[in-house]
Amino acid sequence: MESIDKTATKAAWVYNTSGPVRDVLKLDKEFPSETSEDFKPDDILVDVVAMSINPIDYKLMQTYKMLLKLMFKFPVIPGLDFAGKIVATGPDVRGLKVGDHVWGKQAVARYRSQGGTLTTRILTDTKCVYPLPDSISFNDAAGFGVAGITAWEGLVEAMHVKPGQRVVILGGSGGVGTFAIQIAKALGVEVTSISSTTNLQLCKSLGATHTIDYKSEDVVARLGETGPYDYVFDLINDNGLYNASSKFLKPDGAFYGIAGDVSLGYMGSAISRKLRPKVLGGSSHAYHNYLLKAEPKTIKEFAEFVSENGIKTVTDSLYNFDHALAAFDRLTSHRAKGKIIVKMD
């Protein structure tokens, strides 16, 4: 491996304290870049071509400062997803070389210790990186990471869905939902997607058999007509829908939810789900929360599934690196249809 100049810098969006995105996130055009001394034998240096942002990026930025200080080395660079070109490899790297195009999801430990992917260059390792087929663009691959793998883990590893089962996806038009509909469909699962009026057609085009408009329809009544269902994939955290589950879930059906954050409001809703008895309007169905694990084996399976089944990133919008704040404005609007991509040039 050639030595990397110790004075090398890169551009990175960073924050030094918690707060609203526009107050705390700043562009540093001379952030210290990785050097040869940072390299482990299995490491790969990647010039990022595109990345995508996820709700976790602003949820962390806005959480309690004490908690952030415990979890992260400051300053923090947000972002986990990336696609780019390899510019250097450690001595133990096999099967990947300088110049290869790759996509990946940065490991959480690296996110915490050296920063995330909203930057022009990252150090990662072979377990987090997958070769990018010629048929997939950098921008599309940048959207796969957190959203795609979360959808895959939810359906395959948490629910263990089987062909012929029936799943409701609450929030089908967002980053996770657009992947979840496609993956479920490709696995032979029948999907009913709940979204607002403007996104019904999108969810149908991705493979949903039934679409329900939460703005204009009685969702519980419609689910009662189209059900019964095996699972609800809750990407929104809707206790009202959960409490009505007996009207549309099979007796052994369950909710799987992911939309948490570190706030008193969320903790209250999670406790209420667990403790509220049926006689007081609660549900007797199980509600499972899960957190993305993204084990290397899972990412590899997902990467192969994506290539074999033509799973696509639905792109809500594309921003230049310098306009990352506008990308976060779009994300925090909660109206994104699919993924928000940030490209570096």
Give me the residues that bind ligand NAP (CB under 6 A), please: 54-56, 59, 146-147, 150, 170-171, 173-177, 194-196, 199, 214, 235-236, 258-259, 291-292, 331, 334-337
Q: Which is nearer to ligand NAP, 88 or 311 (CB)?
A: 311
Burial class (CB in 10 A: 0-12, 13-18, 19+), 188: exposed
Compute the distance between CA of residue 30 and CA of residue 137 in angstroms, rounded to an integer: 28
State in angstroms the smallest separation of the CB of 122 from ligand NAP: 20
Where would I find the beta strands (DSSP E) of the chain? 9-14, 26-32, 43-53, 81-89, 101-105, 121-125, 129-131, 166-170, 190-195, 210-213, 229-234, 249-257, 286-289, 315-320, 339-343
State in angstroms the smallest separation of the CB of 237 from ligand NAP: 7
Q: Which is nearer to ligand NAP, 201 or 309 (CB)?
A: 201
State in angstroms the smallest separation of the CB of 283 from ligand NAP: 18
State in angstroms the smallest separation of the CB of 240 from ligand NAP: 10
- Do 328 and 21 touch, CB atoms closer than 8 A? yes
Which residue of the chain is nearest ligand NAP when measured via CB? 174
State in angstroms the smallest separation of the CB of 276 from ligand NAP: 20
φ, ψ at 244 (rounded to 5°): -95, 15
Dihedral of the alpha carbons of 259, 264, 267, 271, in degrees to the nearest 10:
-140
Q: Which is nearer to ligand NAP, 31 or 152 (CB)?
A: 152
* Structure token digits, residue 122: 């990252």
State in angstroms the smallest separation of the CB of 195 from ligand NAP: 4
Q: Which is nearer to ligand NAP, 45 or 172 (CB)?
A: 172
- Do 321 and 312 touch, CB atoms closer than 8 A? no
Count of Cβ atoms closer than 10 Å to residue 304 Cβ: 11
Compute the distance between CA of residue 36 and CA of residue 238 in angstroms, rounded to an integer: 48
Q: Which is nearer to ligand NAP, 323 or 334 (CB)?
A: 334
Q: Which is nearer to ligand NAP, 96 or 318 (CB)?
A: 318
Question: At 184, which amino acid appears?
Answer: A
Q: Which is nearer to ligand NAP, 105 or 166 (CB)?
A: 105
How many Cα atoms are found within 13 Å in the side-chain-facing hemisphere of 179? 25
State in angstroms the smallest separation of the CB of 285 from ligand NAP: 19
Compute the distance between CA of residue 305 and CA of residue 27 in angstroms, rounded to an integer: 36
Compute the distance between CA of residue 58 and CA of residue 109 in angstroms, rounded to an integer: 18
Q: Taking the CA atoms of 290, 293, 294 and 298 in sequence, report the sign of the dihedral they define.
A: negative
State in angstroms the smallest separation of the CB of 34 from ligand NAP: 27
State in angstroms the smallest separation of the CB of 164 from ligand NAP: 25
Compute the distance between CA of residue 319 and CA of residue 332 in angstroms, rounded to an integer: 15
Q: Which is nearer to ligand NAP, 176 or 327 (CB)?
A: 176
Q: Which is nearer to ligand NAP, 187 or 259 (CB)?
A: 259
